[in-house]
Structure 1
Amino acid sequence: MTIMHLPSPVTIGLARGLTEVKLFFRSKEQAIFTFAFPAGILAVLGSVFSRTYEDTGVSSSHVLTASMVGAGIIATSFVNLSISVALDREDGTLLRLRGTPMPAISYFLGKIILVLVASLAETVLVLGVGVALFGLDLPTDPAKWLTFAWVFVLAVISCSLIGIFTASLAKSGQSAAAVANLPYVGLQFVSGVYVSPITLLPAGMVTVASLFPIKWAAQGFRSVFLPDSMMKYEMAGSWELGRTALVLGVWCVVGLGLCLMTFRWSNRSR
């Protein structure tokens, strides 16, 4: 008698991730808008609000470029997944997947893989705008790129899981857009994405922003693409990479727990 072994949740998740990526890029309008939005915002704001930190030689457009890498990841993960997961539930996609051997954790992994691929492409575009329009110098130190890698991965995982959790709070894809966009836009301002330097913001606002990933993702990317002379313009006067890793890592764990507790396959089940 032959015993059939089902694929592991990781294998199923990888297969689902490949499907998610294919579906995403087949929707040309969605792909173009996703990639163009942060790059377009950067091109406009970087051109309109441009000044130089005289003691460092760094332009405010360089600061914005680094911060927009983080903001772009949050949009691709938190905002897009809040909407797409709610739509998957609304149109019956999740019910059909439930009839397969796919556990919820594999579905989460598939969405995270999609965000990893889309965010990487989006980051390349944002950095391309920063280099071409504003003369941003990309780092040559391998240690800087190592920092980029772990900040990128932790930001993608944490914010993807928060996005999947947020979708559970919405009854439809339309309401998910409203639920996700308000905190996303608000947190961009209080997290120092659009306000440079972040020390211009009231300390209370930054304290609130420090509870969420976007502030730490943006700060982590600033540590990669800006010289260390810019550390003094951070609230703590340093890049705080250890705290960045801690906060993003905690949100990965908390986000997974929230997803497992609240995820549902249809709007009729709890």
Structure 2
Amino acid sequence: MNTLRLGFLRGGLEIKQFLRSRESVVFTLAFPLILLCVFGAVFGGEIDPGVTFTQYFAAGMVAAGLLSTGFQSLAIQIPIEREKGILKRLRGTPMPRAAYFVGKVVMVLAIGVVETVLLVTVATLFFNVDLPATGAKWLTFGWVSLLGITACTLCGIAFSSLARSGRSGPAVVTPVAIVLQFISGVFFQYTQLPEWMRGIASVFPLKWMTQGMRSVFLPDSFAAREPAGSWQHGTIALVLTAWIVVAGVLCLLTFRWTERD
């Protein structure tokens, strides 16, 4: 209980530090909104009867927003904290080490909720994207978001060990996030991508997160346009859960409190 209490206190501090960093706020919160507005304004046609490109793109951007909040932000922030010696000093305090990670999770969840609300609000008000009409779709929205952001958070913590310094973090992380968005059906219709590209994307969480979000924001008839001919909710849950387990093990094995040298 003491660890959780300290973790939530640490989470409040993490949120304050995030909001005080203009670069983090703009990159994590504003950038997905800008992309949604730009692509929504440029591409307005239908990709299927009754389904506009904006509807398809908005579903993908909600998933991409969770990737940005969980994976990209942590994989960039943690190397900076490691380089500045913040992690080394925290390790030397009486605070349980687990409280640090609880604080990161609290920050990611809070920012992720804000990001998702902003994206859904803008898509609904300005691009006529319909909100989920049934309780089952809202339930799907909830568990896909929770599993997705958990997998992305753990992947971000594990991936943070690859950057040799705080300055190299964005150069290492950003290309990975951008490539995943291009091959996972965020910017383009997934079935129009080459088969080999779809095969690579299917290994990573973002492809399944976008597919889950499409099942929420697109009509059920569109499931026939998916590669498997259905939404594959069971497979989505299985893959995201597997990534949570794998990324959690990688965090335990690879996380470093100090720089390599």
> What TM-score do you get using the length of structure 1 for normalisation?
0.92
The percent of aligned pairs where both chains have the same amino acid is 48
Distance 2:71 2:196 in 1: 24
Instruction: Name 1:240's counterpart in structure 2.
Output: 232
Secondary structure in 1 aligned to 2:168? helix
Whether 1:12 and 2:31 are equivalent positions in the alignment is no
Structure-2 separation of matches of 1:29 and 1:268:
27
Instruction: String of CA shifts for 1:170-191, please: whole Å, max 9, x gaps.
Output: 1112211111111111111111
Mapped pair 1:38 → 2:32: yes
Q: Are residues 206 and 105 of structure 1, via their aligned partners in 2, closer, same or farther at CA, if it must alter by over 3 Å?
A: farther
| Counterpart among 262, 265, 268 of residue 254 in structure 2 | 262
Matched, 1:147 2:140: yes
Q: Which residue of 1 aligns with 2:126?
A: 133
Partner of 1:213: 205
Q: Which residue of 1 aligns with 2:84?
A: 91
Q: Does 1:66 align with 2:59?
A: yes
Deviation of the 1:30 alpha carbon = 2.4
Higher mean alpha-carbon deviation, 132-141 vs 67-76, is at 132-141
2: CA distance between counterparts of 1:145 and 1:66?
13
Q: In 2, distance between residues paired with 1:26 and 1:126? A: 21
Q: Map 1:85-234; keep pairs closer than 5 Å.
A: 85-196=78-189, 198-234=190-226
* Structure 1 residues 84-106: Cα deviation after superposition (integer angstroms, max 9, x where no partner): 00011111111121122334433
Aligned residue number for residue 43 of structure 2: 49
Residue pair 2:69, 2:112 contacting (<8 A) in 1 also: yes
Which residue identity does 1:34 align to in structure 2?
T
Question: In 2, distance between residues paired with 1:107 and 1:142?
Answer: 35
Deviation of 1:28 (Å): 3.9
Counterpart of 1:121 in structure 2: which amino acid? V
Instruction: Rate the CA distance shift 1:177–1:32 in 2: closer, same or farther, 3 A.
Output: closer
5+ residue gaps, structure 2, are: none
Count of residue correspondences:
261
Whether the 8 Å CA contact 1:67–1:222 is kept in 2: the answer is yes
Residue pairs, 1:18-29, within 5 angstroms: 18-29=12-23
Tell me how large the CA RMSD over aligned residues is. Answer: 1.5
CA offset digits 1:199-230 (Å, max 9, x no partner) = 11112111110110110111111111111011
CA contact (8 A) 1:92 1:266 kept: yes
Contact 2:164-2:260 within 8 A present in 1 as well: no
Within the candidate set 230, 241, 260, 1:249 is matched to 241
The residue correspondences of 1:69-84 to structure 2 (distance < 5 A) are 69-84=62-77
Task: Name the SS for the 1:174 alignment partner.
Answer: coil
